[in-house]
Structure 1
């Protein structure tokens, strides 16, 4: 490359960068204007904060000099393309990657040691709440690897940014207000380190959950989710109990899908007593039998990789774990880790290495299925149980291979069906 050519290329790159900055500034305004807009937004929170008992001094101190963190995921900023791959791993990883057997095995070893160290607290928590101790320990392991993860964000900044330009502004606005209330009630700001989504403490509570489910596990008359292991464990268990945990009931069971069964049966709409699943040919691996009382449990089929991985019959307690973090993979991770802590092992059928479809592809499939009358509530690009169920139902109806996975082949077929239909006037 000649020096003239190199200089021209450099100038071209420089011009593109300057142009991109100009576009962004034109949308967001000048830096001063953007800062003023953020300050106006924060000031507008005062009436609601005051209603929660936050003093003006606490309010002003919390927001003094605060700037938004535009590096956080899940933001909607004019002129900037959303990066769907930067969000929660529960929604961006394949089942094989998320349910990593080596990582689960390592956490299980740590979990058994942890369970023994905190046996007295766990005895008390299990007796009072009915929540299985191994589930509580597994949540601890999943959320912060038993407290070893360093939370990188200031909760106030993270929540304020998400409330200002996040995709779920209303939810984060509420959480920001409760975070201010925590400061008012004496929680030190330096303790309030969080995930990018503002989850705080050893077992990752949202600030509003602090006021709904926090529990004094060590009996010292106060709740400390940041440094007290008994408090954090008790609070996690209390949250599960408050959301409907059924004492003595497993979260679910791995099952073998019979030849006449398929993944289009998946999801909450297909819930039925386990005895009915057994009648359809769904049984546990290695010839293990369900106990008589288990046959009466309601359960639905869960296949996180569609036809390319393990299948589970999951109970009401799976739904409760899922409310702790709204993700099928999260609930399966916690459930399997709890089983491993109690002496269990890996899934009998591992998840295959299959391509994780791009978000834009999943969204288009969801939209086209909705247009055809399939029962999907939203277009979000996430491969949840209902998306898999509806993909499988579509495949079955159109005599395609039934794998319940939103592949390029499914999208191509959906496009061809749309192209063959008369255009609406």
Structure 2
């Protein structure tokens, strides 16, 4: 009997050890929930100042907890490089600009060009944005309405405002979403959005709905969810507000001559199209640049560095990018618009490249910065600035210039990076790149 009692005591002790983490987890989870509820309650004074009633506020947040599956969150205890990113920054150019997907959207877009000819003509005339690019926004955002997001906008905006990288931006959008509920634009049941809180056929953020949504069909409502004319006009109105140059393209696929490379990528190296032409840059397909565009400023765009097509991008490329801050997004919309308007696919194929993790790209950016290169932002995203500086680093180190963040590059930079306490290198930027390429100042 004493032996049995001892065994029983041992069994109970082991069971207690097994259950201890669960017992500790419950208070921790409850504490996290309390912190989120305090965050929500702290929103109330600003929501009230925007005209939101307490009843609307409480109904909006009923049963809402953070959605930890969303991209772009910074979770407690999470390593910096483990942040889940969005497709525009985690896919290679070839993956994002999938040829079959673009071809499918092109066919649908051409049919819609005919179907919605009347409102598109009005949009082009009254708002000043070419119809093919308006359709391309719709195609990229929701596949012409085929994709309907199922996130509850209040939940995702609250999560991003609470745990995201851009808390203040999403806090403002959350307050505007609450105002939309108060104004009966939508109900909690119908307020569906993307992971970032964008809504409707052409994906508007709540604050943009109040400033840029457009009632083209004349029914007294700005219905970006169900009215194609309203949604397309709203997208065009947003592009116009962001600086769209009427009648101008976004850019042209080109062949770069020897001596001009991805090293010169980005708006810092912009010059008139006629100057690029004089330097030997030519359009693909043996076509000339439009005569009325020759004085327009253009810059080299090489989304895959040396491993894919090169472009001369105009101001409207940057305007599209302001709709969604991604080079690949803007190129997708621009190219889809061209194809809907009758242009062909890219002349130069995308080579097979590997996309590094955000953490590895951040490390490359930090190593560049430590050597004096003017990295605009250490964010784990290999945009134009980072790619061109990689090219500058490769040129200085007598490496092959491909402007692409690769494992081999990172390994080489780790091995030769500045030691602690060393003097930082002199700043290197786009102007230096122009001089090294023999182009001189603009």
Tell whether the 8 Å contact from 2:82 to 2:359 is kept in structure 1 after alignment: no
Alignment match, 1:245: 244
Alignment match, 1:45: 43
Provide the C-alpha distance between the structure 2 equivalents of 1:280 and 1:18, rounded to a whole number of angstroms.
Answer: 73
Alignment match, 1:213: 212
Alignment match, 2:416: 417
Distance 1:87 1:291, change over 3 A: same
Counterpart among 126, 129, 132 of residue 131 in structure 1:
129
Alignment match, 1:390: 389
Alignment match, 2:180: 182
Alignment match, 1:162: 160
Provide the C-alpha distance between the structure 1 equivalents of 2:140 and 2:323, rounded to a whole number of angstroms.
Answer: 12
Distance 1:237 1:20, change over 3 A: farther
Q: CA deviation at 1:411?
A: 2.0
Q: How high is the TM-score relative to the length of structure 1?
A: 0.91
Task: Within 5 Å, give how 1:11-410 maps onto structure 2.
Answer: 25=25, 30-81=28-79, 86-189=84-187, 190-410=189-409
Tell whether the 8 Å contact from 1:274 to 1:298 is kept in structure 2 after alignment: yes
SS of the residue corresponding to residue 164 of structure 1 reads helix
Tell whether the 8 Å contact from 1:75 to 1:166 is kept in structure 2 after alignment: yes
SS of the residue corresponding to residue 311 of structure 2 reads strand
Q: CA deviation at 1:291?
A: 2.7
Distance 1:340 1:17, change over 3 A: farther
Unaligned runs of 5+ in 1: 1-13
Q: Which has the larger radius of gyration?
A: 2
Unaligned runs of 5+ in 2: 1-14, 424-442
Provide the C-alpha distance between the structure 2 equivalents of 1:18 and 1:149, rounded to a whole number of angstroms.
Answer: 44
Provide the C-alpha distance between the structure 1 equivalents of 2:125 and 2:133, rounded to a whole number of angstroms.
Answer: 14
Provide the C-alpha distance between the structure 2 equivalents of 1:338 and 1:359, rounded to a whole number of angstroms.
Answer: 30
SS of the residue corresponding to residue 368 of structure 2 reads helix
With 54-63 and 412-421 compared, the bigger mean Cα shift is at 412-421
1:108-135 alpha-carbon deviations (Å, 9 max, x no partner): 0001111111111111111111101100
The two structures, once aligned, show a CA RMSD in angstroms of 2.2
Tell whether the 8 Å contact from 1:391 to 1:405 is kept in structure 2 after alignment: yes
Q: How high is the TM-score relative to the length of structure 2?
A: 0.88
Aligned positions, number? 408
Provide the C-alpha distance between the structure 1 equivalents of 2:196 and 2:22, rounded to a whole number of angstroms.
Answer: 27
